[in-house]
Every structure is written in structure tokens, then in C-alpha cells.
């Protein structure tokens, strides 16, 4: 057992490669989680804006004809569809 020095290096490489594989497996899941978190924040704000517009409409302060709320790159209209800013979608 005196000439076993090479196995320590081999075991270190194996452990390091397993750790790398685990990290590579977790990164796409983390990216999807962060993207989903941003989408939830945007949708929550859009729902709050639509709620404010709906209460203003119900109180008679605004008319519902042709009104759209444009938020960044998407526009949410009264019918619940999401369209691009150009309106061609």
C-alpha cells in the first residue's frame, strides 16, 4: 500500500467532476425560477393597474371604449388579451 499516492488525485478529480455536474444541472432550474419570479411581479402590477381602471370605470370616471394600458412591451386591454405595442399580434 505504499504506492497508492495517485488515487488521491483521481478521487479529487471524481469529486470535483460530480460537483460540476450538479451545478450544471441546477443552473437551468435557477434561471427558470428567476425568470418566473420576474413574470409574477409584472403580472401582479398589471392586475393592480387593471383593477384601478376597472374601479374607475365602475365609478363612471372613465369610458371603456378603446382604452388600453401599455406597460413596457406588452399592452393589456379590457378583453384579457395580451398584445404587443404595435397591436398586430
Structural domain containing residue 27 = 6-84
Q: Is residue 89 situated within a structural domain?
A: no
Q: Which residue has the higher pLDDT, 40 or 75?
A: 40
Q: Is residue 46 situated within a structural domain?
A: yes
Q: Is residue 1 situated within a structural domain?
A: no
Per-residue pLDDT, 50: 85
DSSP code of 66?
T
| pTM for this prediction | 0.45
Per-residue pLDDT, 89: 44
Q: Is residue 32 situated within a structural domain?
A: yes
Q: Is residue 15 situated within a structural domain?
A: yes
Distance CA 15, CA 23 (A): 13
- The pLDDT tens digits of the residues spanning 4-40 come to 666 788 889 999 999 999 999 999 999 999 888 888 9
Long-range contacts of residues 72-80, Cβ cutoff 8 Å, at least 24 apart: 72/42, 76/46, 76/49, 76/50
Domains contained in the chain, number: 1
Q: Which residue has the higher pLDDT, 71 or 23?
A: 23
Q: What share of the chain is helix, strand, coil (3-state, %, to 5)?
A: 60, 10, 30
Amino acid at each position: 500500500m505504499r504506492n497508492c499516492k495517485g488515487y488521491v488525485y483521481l478521487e479529487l478529480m471524481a469529486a470535483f467532476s460530480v460537483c460540476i455536474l450538479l451545478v450544471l444541472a441546477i443552473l437551468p432550474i435557477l434561471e427558470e425560477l428567476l425568470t418566473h419570479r420576474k413574470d409574477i411581479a409584472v403580472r401582479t402590477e398589471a392586475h393592480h393597474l387593471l383593477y384601478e381602471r376597472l374601479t374607475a370605470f365602475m365609478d363612471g370616471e372613465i369610458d371603456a371604449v378603446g382604452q388600453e394600458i401599455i406597460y413596457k412591451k406588452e399592452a393589456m386591454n379590457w378583453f384579457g388579451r395580451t398584445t404587443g405595442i404595435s397591436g398586430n399580434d
